[in-house]
Amino acid sequence: MNNTATISRKASDVALLSCPDYGRERLDGLIREAAEAAGFPEIGGKRILVKPNILKAAVPEKAVCTHPEFLGAVLRFLKSKGAARIVAGDSPAWQGGRAAAKTSGLFDAASSEGVEWVELSTGEARQSPGAHLVRGFALAAALDDCDLVVNLPKLKTHRLMKYTGAIKNLFGLVPSLGKSGFHLRFPDSADFGTMLVDLAASVPHCFTFMDGIVAMEGEGPGDGDPYALGIILASSDLAALDWTAASCIGYDPCRIPYLVDALQRTGRDPEKPSIEVGPRSVAELAAVDFRLLPYEMKGQADIRAIPSFARSFLKKILADRPIFDPRRCESCSACVKVCPAKALELRKENSNRILIDDEACIGCFCCHEVCPAHAIRIGKVLRRPGKARKLP
């Protein structure tokens, strides 16, 4: 999935460099080096939308969002290349983009470079060439006034998709709670992944710089732990970059369905992907003890081959579900607001703060992603059909 048509001199499909910290001078140099290695396009006189990753309001040390120093380095690079106009923005699932950007330090990073922060409101429908599931998307209006999207994902694990990076970060171009509708429409993780690849195809001019300097391991994308990975990746090819980044943290990308789908749409064979990476190699910079989320269980994958009348029942038995901790819950209602299936209810009396309808829950884990109090874990619970499960 190569999303930039016109590029400059290019040495690699994916630029991979070592970067131990967010020191300004070093980072500025490495962003320039990564751009040159991956063939950054000519942008003189062009309009640029910079799209960092802001899952929710979180300080930089939590590794939930793109680091503000990373954003600053990219903005300085874009200005040096003669862009006519640069704006930055993202749309978290339930919080205001500006408020979350201020907490994460990204708003100040943009302001200090003289770059306007924009709210991502809904624009015109955009077509997805070669779509497998979704032919068109109502994405941010800011796309209608830009020539290139500069995509700045944070390298993280992801409870639903296992890995999140360049392709998944573009889902943030769906404004605010519009994301919930896609979770409700595509509750199966494989279908949701296909939708993500369709969405990426609707953003034809895109270049990615990935923040893997401090990544997130474990219960990502919002409740995991920082991991000093020390890498930067860059590419105009979303699929190749994600394939490389997932490999760097120890995943076999062949076992992550949406990465396979994306790579196949570039005409590559996942068994022999033929992705040129440089100047450093995956073998040189790969993590050795990164805590990954497990691949989809074979039993869960095989559910799609079971007749539909039995599939729903078996999926509820095998699938993980959110488990709430009343001792940590702050009754903020973030989980209730973000839940696409309306399966959660806030109850303050008798300490039963959350009521969950297991029949309605689709297992998207949006509640887990946005909880600011770390009050939700993912696991298996004994459920009775037709009964709602309260906090213990």
Q: Is the pLDDT of residue 311 over 90?
A: no
pLDDT on residue 391? 44
When the candidates are 3.40.190.10, 3.30.70.20, 3.90.420.10, 3.10.20.30, the CATH number that belongs to 306-390 is 3.30.70.20
Q: Label residue 380 by pLDDT band (50, 70, 90).
A: confident
| Burial class of residue 17 in the structure, from the number of CB atoms within 10 Å of its CB (0-12 exposed, 13-18 middle, 19+ buried) | buried
101 token code pair: 């950007």
User: What Rg value do the Cα atoms of the chain yield, rounded?
Assistant: 20
Q: Label residue 6 by pLDDT band (50, 70, 90).
A: very low
The share of the chain scoring above pLDDT 90, in percent, equals 72
Q: Is the pLDDT of residue 318 over 60?
A: yes
Q: Is the pLDDT of residue 136 over 60?
A: yes
Q: Label residue 351 by pLDDT band (50, 70, 90).
A: low
Is 14-285 CATH 3.30.420.40? no
CATH topology identical between 14-285 and 306-390: no
pLDDT on residue 353? 77
How far is Cα 362 from Cα 321, in angstroms, rounded to an integer?
Answer: 9
- For residue 164, the cross-strand partners are 156
How far is Cα 176 from Cα 351, in angstroms, rounded to an integer?
Answer: 30
Out of 26-30, 96-100, 240-244, 387-391, least confident range: 387-391
Out of 24-33, 62-71, 111-120, 332-341, least confident range: 332-341
Q: Report, as an integer, the average pLDDT of 272-285.
A: 97
Q: Report, as an integer, the average pLDDT of 328-339.
A: 89
Strands 148-152 and 116-117: unpaired
Q: Report, as an integer, the average pLDDT of 256-281.
A: 97
pLDDT on residue 229? 98
Q: Give, as one character, the DSSP assignment of residue 21.
A: S
Please answer whether residues 335 and 356 qualify as being in contact, where contact means their C-beta atoms are separated by less than 8 angstroms.
no
104 token code pair: 């994460």
Report domain extents, the chain: 14-285, 306-390
Packing angle, helices 24-38 and 68-80, rounded to 10:
60
106 Cβ contact partners less than 8 Å away, ≥ 6 residues apart = 52, 54, 65, 66, 68, 71, 88, 90
How far is Cα 318 from Cα 297, in angstroms, rounded to an integer?
Answer: 9
60 Cβ contact partners less than 8 Å away, ≥ 6 residues apart = 67, 68, 69, 104, 105
pTM of the shown model = 0.90
Q: Report, as an integer, the average pLDDT of 379-390.
A: 57
- Nearest Cα residue to 5 out of 36, 57, 42: 42
How far is Cα 125 from Cα 129, in angstroms, rounded to an integer?
Answer: 13
pLDDT in tens, 159-196: 999 999 999 999 999 998 789 899 999 999 999 999 99
Strands 85-88 and 116-117: parallel
52 token code pair: 């960092």
pLDDT on residue 305? 59
Q: Report, as an integer, the average pLDDT of 340-353.
A: 79
